[in-house]
Amino acid sequence: MVNPPYYAADSRYDGSMTYERCGRSGIQLPRLSLGLWHNFGDVNTLANSREMLHFAFNNGINCFDLANNYGPSYGSAEETFGVIMKKSFRPYRDEMIITSKAGYDMWPGPYGIGGSRKYLMASLDQSLSRMNLDYVDIFYSHCYDPNTPMEETLQALVDIVRQGKALYVGISQWPYEASQFAYDYLAAHDTPCLIYQGRYNMIDRQKAQEGIVEQAARNGVGFTAFSPLEQGILTSRYLNGIPEGSRASLGKFLKREQITPELVDKLHRLNDIAAARGQSLTQMSLAWLLKDNTVTSVIIGSSSVDQIRDSLGCLSNITFTPEELQAIDSILC
Ligand SMILES: NC(=O)c1ccc[n+]([C@@H]2O[C@H](COP(=O)([O-])OP(=O)(O)OC[C@H]3O[C@@H](n4cnc5c(N)ncnc54)[C@H](OP(=O)(O)O)[C@@H]3O)[C@@H](O)[C@H]2O)c1
């Protein structure tokens, strides 16, 4: 049977989704964005990817986070997104924030990795073609490259905006000092940095501890948190063992050995706090990030529509009592 045409839900902006201004820009981002790092590659079924993307957009998640090498195989998450763009999302393009990135390894040889102008420019052209897009909304330097002068990487970002291939730029996982250089350079070249993307969740608080979250706010730059669920650890996924097909069972980016009895014990205790708040552990973990408006958006990953539905539920309660925060800290810190 042929798939019926996609019509976005009329209620997509009437539900629980809220939008937060991104730094000092004119852009508002949904508090939850959807990332395509896992589960959207050519090893996954197109039907599930399509369902998740449709469900997300129908529920106000209008920001989709991609990178050149998401898959596997590299490039295939962008290709999947390109299929959905062509078949479903095209009429809604102007309602969406679509991102891509380059920095980590993508193709063989010295021009398929790093922060060079050559790599960034070529990679974005390839990403646009895979995604069936004329431009991305945000193009990121995916990581800091100590072997490329920062001016070269940053000027490439400026020129990409001037070419009209990206509307805004961001940096991801850059260290504190380099980030300040980037904010100053980009502002001085009329391309203010829109957003910093960093790893941040209840377990991994390094970005806050290093002052990077606060630095972004001080510079009028938004902050978006990736791996907000510590790749699924901060959910109910591993409370009763390691399910087949879960990220830990696949063992590439999350290893079985990381799911220790001590960790599972902590997760059960966190789950009790979540239950007392009337939330799932997933919802409390996301709410913990969203309680501060210095975190513009959190980028969730997902392997099913049910997981996205669960995550969306966090938005009904993103405030914590001091006692709740202290109880969480006493388990994790
Ligand atoms: N800039 C960077 O360097 C960088 C690095 C990493 C990620 N990112 C971005 O951040 C996005 C999110 O990263 P992430 O995938 O690590 O995020 P995450 O939200 O921490 O983990 C997502 C995983 O958690 C599990 N999960 C999600 N919701 C659940 C629920 N309700 N119940 C049970 N389990 C649930 C699923 O695991 P299963 O698959 O096991 O079901 C899902 O794949 C990426 O897609 C990417 O866009 C950026």
What is the rounded radius of gyration, in angstroms, for the C-alpha atoms of the chain? 19
Strand, coil or helix: 167: strand
Q: How far apart are the first and last CA of the chain?
A: 53
Cβ neighbours around 151 below 10 Å, total: 11
Q: Pocket of ligand 1, candidates 113, 235, 238, 242: which has the most ligand atoms within 8 Å of its Cβ, to mutate?
A: 235
15 pLDDT tier (thresholds 50, 70, 90): confident
DSSP SS3 for 182: helix
Q: Which residues make Cβ contacts (< 8 Å) with residue 274, sequence separation at least 6?
A: 280, 281, 283, 284, 285
How far, in Å, from the CA of 299 to the mean position of ligand 1? 8
232 lines ligand 1 (CB under 6 A): yes
The pLDDT tens digits for 96-154 are 999 999 999 999 999 999 999 999 999 999 999 999 999 999 999 999 999 999 999 99
Tokens of 265: 């014990």
Closest approach atom of ligand 1 to CA 309: 31
Side chain identity at residue 116, one-letter code: S
Q: Residue range 236-255: average pLDDT?
A: 95
Q: What is the pLDDT of residue 7?
A: 98
What sections of 230-303 are H helices per DSSP?
A: 247-250, 261-276, 281-290
Spatial distance between the Cα atoms of 260 and 258, rounded to a whole number of angstroms: 6
- CB within 8 Å of 257: residues ≥ 6 apart: none
Tell the burial category of 114 from Cβ atoms under 10 Å away from its Cβ (0-12, 13-18, 19+).
buried
Into which CATH architecture does domain 19-232+284-318 fall?
Answer: Alpha-Beta Barrel (3.20)
Is the confidence at residue 1, as pLDDT, over 90? Answer: no
Q: What was the pLDDT predicted at 16?
A: 86
Give me the chain's average pLDDT, please: 97
Q: How many A from CA of 149 to the centre of ligand 1?
A: 32
Residue 168, SS3?
strand
pLDDT at 52: 98
Q: What percent of the chain has pLDDT over 90?
A: 98
Closest to 67 measured CA to CA, from 120, 108, 29, 31: 120
pLDDT at position 212:
98
For 168-224, the pLDDT digits (tens) are: 999 999 999 999 999 999 999 999 999 999 999 999 999 999 999 999 999 999 999
* Spacing, Cα 155 to ligand 1 middle (Å): 31
Residue nearest (by alpha carbon) to ligand 1 atom 14: 227
* Residue 200 in tokens: 């941040």
Which token pair is 255? 């290893």
pLDDT at position 3: 85
With a 6 Å cutoff on the Cβ, whether 62 touches ligand 1 is no
Structure tokens at 168: 């805004």
Candidate of 32, 34, 38 to mutate for ligand 1, largest count of ligand atoms within 8 Å of Cβ: 38
* Ligand 1 contact, 237 CB (< 6 A): yes
| pLDDT for position 309 | 98
Helix (H, G, I), strand (E, B) or coil at 35: strand
pTM for this entry: 0.98
Task: Give the position of tokens 């400026």.
Answer: 158
Total length of the chain: 333
